[in-house]
Amino acid sequence: MTLLSIIIPVYNEEENIHLLCTELVLHCGGDYEVIFVNDGSTDNTLAEIEKIINNNKCFKCLSLSRNFGHQNALMAGMAHAAGQKIIIMDGDLQHPPSLIPLMARQLDNGFDLVVTKRNKTENIGPVKKIMASLFYSFINIISDTKIEANVADFKAFNSKVLTSILQFKERDLFLRGIFSWIGYKTSTINFDAPARKFGKTKYSFGKMLKLALKGTTSFSFKPLRVALLVGSFISLFAFAFGVFALISYFKGNTVPGWASIIIAIMFLGGTQLLAIGLLGEYIASLFTEAKHRPLYLVEKKLNIA
């Protein structure tokens, strides 16, 4: 009999826990364990989980010492999964537990990794939609690894894939990219994501931007090359313009040219700042990697040896 491990990072999801667990019990047949990763919740999430654990020994919890972020919480859960089949999903019921049997079956059919793709998401704001579509178009232009839009962190995979994922020691985690980088025999399932049951999104604008930057800097060097190319092109143009200016000066037909000077300064300044900022991102990323800090700290384990 194979064990199925379901990993669910939760951050302030107190209202969702009970309903989620009811649904999970309904849809998980056979031998399974549900590992909640409490990512530094400040509400009653942990108390809700404790109530469930006291009634059902299939439920477990890993409580982190503070909020380490969704991606790190997923890593923490995966490092503690004992199953031969593993599922990662969100704790807000946007990833329907009713899909679990189908995903598990795909693994039995010989696939190593089952990814899910949202057809549409109910009640998603226009800003988030536009941001997401811009991000995915951008990252796919610059990245060598194809990262599909609408592929959620709702996946099923076997222990072979788990071992591969756990080998990634990078601090700036972008799991969506990593899952498509590793390869393996993959199957895709489409689903309609319902709206969040309770509470509101934990991905603020800032957190989304941070994830987008992680995705960009950890999957491609191309932005640096673009900066170099644009820089070279502008320098070349500036040189030609310099020659032109000198000739004009000696011919004596220079005019007081405030507009052209201010435009050149603003344009060059802007491009330079952009390129420096980009460099800064990569250097910051190197800095974080070099420090080698742990990805998460576990404060408490409930029902986990």
CB atoms within 10 A of CB 126: 7
Question: Which one, 112 or 153, has the nearer CB to Mg ion?
Answer: 153
List, in sequence order, the alpha helices (H) in 4-94.
Answer: 14-27, 45-55, 70-79
Under rule CB under 6 A, which residues in 142-201 are in contact with ligand UDP? 201
Of 5, 49, 70, 143, which one interacts with ligand UDP (CB under 6 A)? 70
Residue nearest to Mg ion (CB): 94
48 binds ligand UDP (CB under 6 A): no
**DSSP letter for each residue of 253-287:** -----HHHHHHHHHHHHHHHHHHHHHHHHHHHHHH
65 binds ligand UDP (CB under 6 A): no
10 binds ligand UDP (CB under 6 A): yes
Q: Which residues pair with 59 in a beta bridge?
A: 34
| Number of residues in contact with ligand UDP under rule CB under 6 A | 16
Residue bearing tokens 């010989």: 110
The CA–CA distances, whole Å, from 43 to 18, 39, 70, 207, 297 equal 14, 11, 17, 20, 19
H/E stretch holding 192: strand 186-193
Question: Which one, 114 or 193, has the nearer CB to ligand UDP?
Answer: 193
Can you tell me the distance from the alpha carbon of 12 to that of 203, in angstroms, rounded to the nearest whole number? 12
Q: How far is the CB of 193 from Mg ion (least distance, A)?
A: 8
| Contact footprint for Mg ion (CB under 5 A) | 90, 92, 94
Q: How far is the CB of 94 from Mg ion (least distance, A)?
A: 4
- Which of 21, 172, 159, 173 has its CA nearest to residue 79? 159
**Residue 91, contacted partner among Mg ion, ligand UDP, none, CB below 5-8 A by kind:** ligand UDP
Question: Which one, 93 or 113, has the nearer CB to ligand UDP?
Answer: 93
Q: How far is the CB of 211 from ligand UDP (least distance, A)?
A: 10
Q: How far is the CB of 195 from Mg ion (least distance, A)?
A: 9
- Binding region for ligand UDP (CB under 6 A): 9-11, 13, 39, 67, 69-70, 73, 90-92, 94, 201-203
